[in-house]
Structure formats: structure tokens, C-alpha cells
Amino acid sequence: MSATDTTEPTRRDILYIATGAVGAVGVASFAWPFIDQMNPDASTRALAKVEVDISSVETGRSLVVKWQGKPIFIRNRTEKEIEEANAVSLEDLKDKIARNENLKDSSAAATDANRVVSGKENWLIQVGICTHLGCIPLGEQGDFDGWFCPCHGSHYDTAGRIRKGPAPENLLVPPYEFLSDTLVKIG
Amino acid sequence: MSGHSAYVPKSGFGKWMDARLPLARLVYDSFVAYPVPRNLNNWYTFGAILSLMLVVQLLTGIVLAMNYVPNTTMAFDSVEHIMRNVNYGWLLRYMHFNGASFFFIAVYIHIFRGFYYGSYKNPREVLWILGVIIFILMMATAFMGYVLPWGQMSFWGATVITNFFTAIPIVGDSIQQLLLGGAVVANPTLNRFFSLHYLLPFMIVGVVILHVWALHVTGQTNPTGVEVKSEQDTVPFTPYATMKDLLAMTVFLLVFAYFIFYMPNFLGAPENYVRADSLKTPSEIVPEWYFLPFYAILRAITFDIGIPFTDIVLINSKLGGVMAMFGSLLIFFVVPWLDTSKVRSATYRPLFKQFFWIFVLVCIGLGYLGAKPAEGIYTTLAQILTFWYFFHFIVILPVLGLIEKPKPIPASITEAVLAKNGVAKS
Ligand code: HEM
Ligand code: FES
């Protein structure tokens, strides 16, 4: 609505718009603290790293640790499991991306090698949260001998790659680093 | 139906008040003199039952909150404390817990009543939409309430449901973090869910007031679907509707009481009496019964939707499932425009009546499948029923209105009543 009947915008129109704009910015900046308080707080964000001693995990065994409240699967894979994972052709994978946060290339192919550290292929370290709706898959189960999520029936193979069921992505490999042969730092 | 008011204040104070805040007049006009169709049957009592259940949930909830602790280290114990130590705590909690179920029983009957008698049709679209909003708020409230006792189902139910949001492309993960207050369900989540579980029922009260207001503008439908035409078609709310509603409430409360006293845990999952463990998913996650049909629809989408003969995926199975689930609810909003028939009541729509009952069976079937493991034949059946669910709304409702030949419609409510009950008593 213009203040007068002239077709040109008047000084008053500009003032209306400017006032409205300042008001909108004011409302938005007032609302922001109310929304942002819901985001993760400083104490939650602080739990960013953990160090894990893996010396007690024998071949064919797994360890579950908590990192940022999430379960981390650390598995010492058998020869057979590694072979099985390598035998799969990329064509057969539902998700062809490695999903490994340690790789620079975020679209790297989901080969077994791209999901582990070279020279330490037996160690498969991943976030134990089903990429469907967040349940925790059970180890050494399912049609592909890897993990099986009981919630809605997702099957992962021995490299943690999704093979069957509703989950869209491979299990996530979190950022981690071997500090020594028996110590890993996650995060 | 609004119009002149028949209220006459009797006492001196009544007159004084009426000139300042005519609250008594509003109540009198809305719940005493208010004319209702003379042929309402028992399916029309569930609105009153729903109001009663809302009050039951509010009262029991407020006293539970006096003894409950919304902290992950104490929540589970505080609910056990309510059950064992608080005077009558067991009763209050069982009322609240079973009350949620009975609230949903009533709302489902109420909604299907609406479908059967075409209650959503012109001019009651807004009334219907307000009802759908109440239903959605109820689901959100019940979902967050179920998290509070911090059992295994509380935790894993919350995990699965909030993970729906990660299906949204790009911003999904941030939205989920905002809801949970972290990467996973934890103390911040429990805290805010408690706050919201306290708030939402009062928002429901607000929408219920709008719902009843809209109802009193258009007036109720009735089993014939013919609008009220003269005073002869109606009876005053009090005593007729009041007494009928009171009787129905009593019967409903008797069944409710039977559950509370004789089978208080029949409707719940035993797994929820196990303390939440963030490292162990129960072997089977089953939501409360009232969510099962929607859960079945979610799990029915096991396939990606993409461009045929290419590898391009437009909607992956996860997003597809979430969209189907929300879609199955949101589609209620447009039902007034999907149903093209001018005839309201299924009584005069022979074809629609059959499809209505098929739809009821489909919903029950989905509920059954929602509680079964998501594999093999169960998934296939869920896919067929999910297809039919949407087919009913998107194809059957619009097409029936065009091809169906309705039965002759009575000229008025009174005519229909007299035709059914024989002799006219003037
Ligand atoms: C729309 C109305 C409401 C519905 C559908 C509803 C539903 C529920 C459900 C399903 C539970 C879980 C019960 C269990 O498994 O033990 C629950 C718990 C709880 N609700 Fe509500 N509620 C409603 C209103 C309220 C209100 C107004 C309050 C007031 C603060 C409240 C306070 C609580 C508390 C403290 C608990 C935890 C104790 C317990 O688990 O029994 N609720 N609610
Ligand atoms: S959460 Fe794992 S299959 Fe749904």
C-alpha cells in the first residue's frame, strides 16, 4: 500500500519498508537463541575424542566402545571375512561409496581396501549405527556374515557395506588413527 | 446454527455478570439450548468421550509430573518409584498409560465416523482440518510421553522415529541434531521431550476450542447427511445430547477401568520395563499399537524410486518410506476435496459404503503387519495394503463421486426418522 496515489514510490513508502525490514531482522535475531539452545551444548560437543586399547581383541572378536554417545564397532576380522569382502564386485553393492571419513576423496569406491587402513586390513572400525533409522546392528549375522539390523532387516557384509534391506548407505567409518599397534584414537 | 440467544439470566448477579462477561450465556447457548439433529446415533458420542479423555490425561499427567524426574539417570527409577511408593501412584500411572490408548481408540472411531458420514464435506472443511491437526498433535504428544519412562522401547522408539529426519536431503542431519540436542538420543533429548510433552496437551486444548467453535458454526452432521432444515429436525442439547453422551462416557469408562484394574499392561510392550541401554537394540522394535498402521507403511517402502533403466535414484527407500508415512497422514487434510460426491452419508452411497469397509479392513491389516517382522510375505502384504491405502484416497474417492448412483435421499431428517420408526407422533 502506498501512502499517496502517486505511482512513484514516496519517501514514506521507503520508510515503511525500511522499518519492516529492521523489524524482521529484530524478530529473527530474537528468535535465534530460542532455537539454537536446542543444538548440542558445549558439554556434549566436548566428548570429541577417545583412545582405545585394542590389544585384547583377538582375531574374530569385536569390541564396542562409545564415542560421542555413539557405539563404535572395532572388529579384528578373520582372513575369511577379508576374502569374502574382497570377492564382492562393486556392481553388486547397493551403496558404491566408501563412506570413510579418513579418505580425502569423499566419493571413493566402496572397495574393502577403502574402508580400512592399508597394512591393517584386519581392523574394521565403524560407527555401529544402522544407516536406515539408527538401530544397532548385531555382529556376525545376516545373509552376508557381517551385520544384521533387526529393526527393519538390513544386512551388511563383512566390510560393513549395505547389501540388502532398507538402509541406504554403508556403515560409516569414523575418523580414526592408529597411535601404535595396540592403541587407536577415534575422533 | 448460531443466531439469536435464548439465554435469560435469572438472578441479580447473573444479570450483572451478563452485562459484563456473558460467559454463562456462551455456555447456555453452546451446551444447553444448542440444537442438535434428533437422529444422532452412538457413533456421535465420541467427541464428548474425547474431551473427557483429554481431561483425564491432563489431570493424571500433572500429578505424575510432581513425582517424575526427567533425567536419564533417574527417569526409569522415578517411574518405578511412582508405581511402588507414591500413594495411588500405580493407579495414576496406569490411568495415564492406558488413557493414551483409550484416547486413540476414541479418536480412531471418531475419524472413521467422519469418513462414513462424510462429515468433512462442504461446509465443514475447516472443522475437519482442525480435527486432523488435533490428531497430529496427539501423536506427537503420545510419542514424546512414551520416551519419558526411559525403558528400552522408549529409547529405541525415539531413536528410530527421530532418525526419520535424516532422510531429508542435505539438511536432515542438522534437523535431527537440533531435535535431539546431540548426535544420539540422550539426556538433552529426554529433558526437552518432557517439556514439550507438558506443553502440547495445552495446545491441543486450544485447537479443541477452535474445533468446537467451528462445529457450532456449521452444526453437526447426522446419519442421513441431510442438513437441518427446521426446528422439527432438532432437539435441544440438554437434556438429549447431554444424557446420551453421559451414558456413552460411562460405558467407555467401564471398559477403561477394566483395563486399568485387570490388564494394565496388556496394551504395552514388556520390553519397556527394561531400563534403556544405548548399546543394545531390542530384537524387535514395535511401537505402541496406535502407531502400527503408519509404521507398516514406513517399512513397506523397501525399494528405491528412480528413473527406469538407469542407475539414477530420485528417492531412496529410506526417504520413500518416510514420505509415504507422513503422506498417509497428511492426505487427510485434502479429503474434503478428493471426495467428489455431493452426497454426504454412506447410508445413501451403496458403492462407497463397500469401499469404506474395505478401507477399514486395510487399516486393521496394516496395523497387524506393523507388529510383525519386516520380512518375506509380511513385507509383500504391507506393500499391497499400502498401495490400496493411497489408492482409496487418490483414485476411489474422486472416481466414486462421478460414477456412483446414490439411493434416493430423504427430504428432511424428520422424514427419514419417521419413515424408519413408523407412525408420526405430532
Ligand atoms: C494429550 C494428552 C496426553 C497423552 C496422549 C499422553 C501420553 C503419554 C504416554 C503414552 C506416556 C507413557 C506412559 C508409560 O509408558 O508409562 C506418558 C507419560 C507421561 N506423561 Fe503424558 N500424555 C498426555 C498428557 C500429559 C500431560 C498434560 C502431562 C503433564 C505434565 C503429562 C505428563 C506425563 C509424565 C510425567 C509421564 C511419565 C510418567 C509415566 O511414564 O507414566 N502427560 N504420557
Ligand atoms: S534401523 Fe536398521 S534396518 Fe531400520
Map out the domains of chain A as residue ranges: 8-39, 44-186
Q: How many domains in chain B?
A: 1
Helix, strand, or coil (residue B183): coil
Residues of chain A scoring pLDDT < 70: 1-6
Residues A149, A157: contact at Cβ < 8 Å?
no
State whether residue B376 sits within 8 Å of chain A by CB: no
Confirm or reject: Cβ of B201 under 6 Å from ligand 1: yes
Nearest to B323 by CA among B344, B297, B342, B293: B297
Tell if the CB–CB gap between B186 and A69 is shorter than 8 Å: yes
Q: Give the residue, out of A70, A95, A126, A135, with the most ligand 2 atoms within 8 A of its beta carbon, to mutate for a pocket test.
A: A135
Q: Element (H or E) spanning B305, and its range? A: strand B305-306
Q: Which listed residue (A45, A120, A152, A185) is catalytic?
A: A152
Identify the residue whose C-alpha is closest to ligand 2 atom 4: A152
A66 vs B contacts (CB less than 8 Å)? 278-279
Question: Within a 13 Å sphere around the CA of B250, how many CA atoms are in the beta-carbon half?
Answer: 6
Phi, psi angle pair for B77, to nearest 5°: -65, -35
CB-CB contact of B365 with B380 (8 Å)? no
> How far is the C-alpha of B97 from the C-alpha of B264, rounded, in Å?
8
B19 located within any domain: no
Q: Do B281 and A136 touch (CB under 8 A)?
A: yes
- Interface contacts (A, B; CB < 8 Å): 86
State the pTM of this model. Answer: 0.89
* Of the candidates B396, B48, B335, B95, the residue with the CA atom closest to the CA atom of residue B208: B48
Q: How far apart are CA B275 and CA B153, in angstroms?
A: 9
A151 with B281: Cβ contact below 8 A? yes
Report chain B's terminal Cα–Cα distance, integer Å: 24
Residues B176/B165, Cβ–Cβ less than 8 Å:
yes
Contact B278, B158 (CB under 8 A): no
pLDDT recorded at residue B1: 41
Q: How many whole angstroms separate alpha carbon B169 and alpha carbon B383?
A: 24
Residue of minimum CA distance from atom 33 in ligand 1:
B61
- Chain A residues touching B317 at Cβ < 8 A: 166, 168
Give the ligand at the shortest distance from the Cα of B374.
Answer: 2
Domain A44-186 has CATH 2.102.10.10: yes
Tell me whether residue B74 is in a domain.
Answer: yes
Is A139 exposed, middle or buried (CB count within 10 Å of its CB: 0-12, 13-18, 19+)? middle
- Say how many Å lie between the CA of residue B261 and the centre of ligand 1: 19
B280–A168 C-beta distance less than 8 A: no
In this complex, do A153 and B160 lie within 8 Å of one another by their Cβ atoms?
no
Angle among Cα B143, B148, B154 to the nearest 5 degrees reads: 65
Helices B46-65, B242-262: crossing angle, 10 deg rounding = 50
- Specify the pairing of strand B234-236 against strand B35-37: antiparallel
CA angle A111, A115, A120 (to 5 degrees): 110
State how far residue B62 is from chain A, nearest Cα, in angstroms: 24
Is residue B276 situated within a structural domain?
no
Domain with B183, as residue range(s), is 38-271+283-420
- Min distance B60 CA to chain A CA atoms (Å): 28
Residue A129 grid coordinates:
549405527
The CA-atom distances, in angstroms, between B322 and each of B145, B178, B317 are: 22, 19, 9
Nearest chain A residue to B164 by CA: give it: A133
* Among A40, A136, A152, beta carbon nearest to B374: A152
CATH of the domain at B330: 1.20.810.10
- Per-residue confidence (pLDDT) for residue B426, from 0 to 100: 46
Measure A184 CA to nearest chain B CA, in Å: 20
Residues having CB closer than 6 A to ligand 2 are: A 130, 132-135, 149, 151-154, 165-167
In tens digits, chain B (426 residues) has pLDDT values of 445 788 999 999 999 999 999 999 999 999 999 999 999 999 999 999 999 999 999 999 999 999 999 999 999 999 999 999 999 999 999 999 999 999 999 999 999 999 999 999 999 999 999 999 999 999 999 999 999 999 999 999 999 889 888 888 889 889 999 999 988 999 999 999 999 999 999 999 999 999 999 999 999 999 999 999 999 999 999 999 999 999 999 999 999 999 999 999 999 999 999 999 998 888 888 899 999 999 999 889 878 888 877 777 788 888 898 899 999 999 999 999 999 999 999 999 999 999 999 999 999 999 999 999 877 899 999 999 999 999 999 999 999 999 999 999 999 999 999 888 766 554
Q: Do A153 and B301 touch (CB under 8 A)?
A: no
Instruction: Give, using CA atoms, the residue closest to atom 31 of ligand 1.
Output: B61
Euclidean distance between CA atoms A48 and A44, whole angstroms: 8
User: What's the confidence (pLDDT) of residue B424?
Assistant: 52
Instruction: Answer yes or no: are the C-beta atoms of A171 and A160 closer than 8 Å.
Output: yes
Q: What is the pLDDT of residue B2?
A: 45
Least Cα separation, residue A19 to chain B (angstroms): 31
